[in-house]
């Protein structure tokens, strides 16, 4: 079939995925249709309700990028403690890495 990608040991047909997406979009549309249509834009009806508390400033509720995946980076702190400092930003260090890798390749390729 023209749309089926053969990968040697398997296959992939994007049409299946498109049908699945179409089905999900249909469900989303049906749910959306259940919503209240007769609300007043700009009124209290569309403001966030936070248990009666006043809405904080927009900036205060924005989650900055640095706060995301804190748990991931903390769990891998041992790894990051070694890898991040290796990125020194010093160009002579960059050259040393290239030379070190070339030296290792030399041992691997020339000796084997």
Partner 1 sequence: MIPQFLWDHAPAMAVAVPLLAAFVCPLVGKYTATGRKAWVLLAAAATSALALFTAWRVYTLGTWVYVFGATVPALSVPPDSGGIPIRIIFEVDAMSALMQVIVAIVGFSVILYSLSADGKRSGLEAYYTLFLLLIASIVGMVSTGDLFNFFVFFEISGLASAGLIAYRVEAGRAVEAGLKYFVVSTLGGIFMLFVIAILYGQYNALNIAMLAERMQFTVLDKIALVLIIGALATKAGAVPMHFWTPDAYALAPSSVTALLVVASQASLYGLFRFTFTLYHLSLNAATVGWVLILLGVFSMFVGVTMAIPQKDVKRLMAYHAISQTGYMLLGVGTGLAVLGNQGMLDAFGRMAIAGGIFHIINHALYKGLLFLTAGAIIYRVGTRDMNRMGGLGHKMKWTMIFFMIGALAIAGIPPFNGFASKLMIYESVYLFNPVLAIIAMVVSILTLASFVKVFHSIFMGPQLPEYEHVKEVPAPMLLGMGILALLVILFGLFPQQVVDLLITPAANALLDQSGYIASILGGA
Note the residues at the interface with partner 1 (CB under 8 A): 2-10, 12, 14, 17-18, 58-59, 61-66, 68-69, 72-73, 76, 79-80, 83-84, 86-87, 89, 91, 93-95, 97-98, 100-102, 105-106, 108-110, 112
The helix (run of H) or strand (run of E) holding residue 12 is: strand 11-12
Nearer residue to partner 1 within complex by CB, 26 or 99: 99
Gap between the Cα atoms of 53 and 64, Å rounded: 23
Q: How far is the CB of 54 from partner 1 (least distance, A)?
A: 15
3-state secondary structure at position 91: helix
Structure tokens at 107: 């041992």
Nearer residue to partner 1 within complex by CB, 6 or 34: 6
């Amino acid at each position: 079939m023209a749309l089926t990608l053969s990968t040697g040991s398997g296959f992939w047909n994007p049409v299946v995925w498109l049908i699945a997406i179409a089905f999900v979009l249909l469900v989303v549309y049906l749910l959306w249709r259940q919503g209240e249509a007769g609300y007043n834009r700009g009124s209290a009806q569309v403001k966030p309700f936070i248990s009666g508390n006043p809405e904080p400033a927009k900036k205060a509720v924005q989650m900055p990028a640095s706060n995301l995946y804190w748990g991931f980076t903390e769990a891998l702190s041992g790894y990051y403690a070694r890898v991040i400092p290796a990125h020194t930003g010093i160009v002579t260090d960059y050259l040393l890495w290239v030379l070190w890798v070339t030296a290792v390749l030399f041992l691997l390729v020339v000796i084997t």
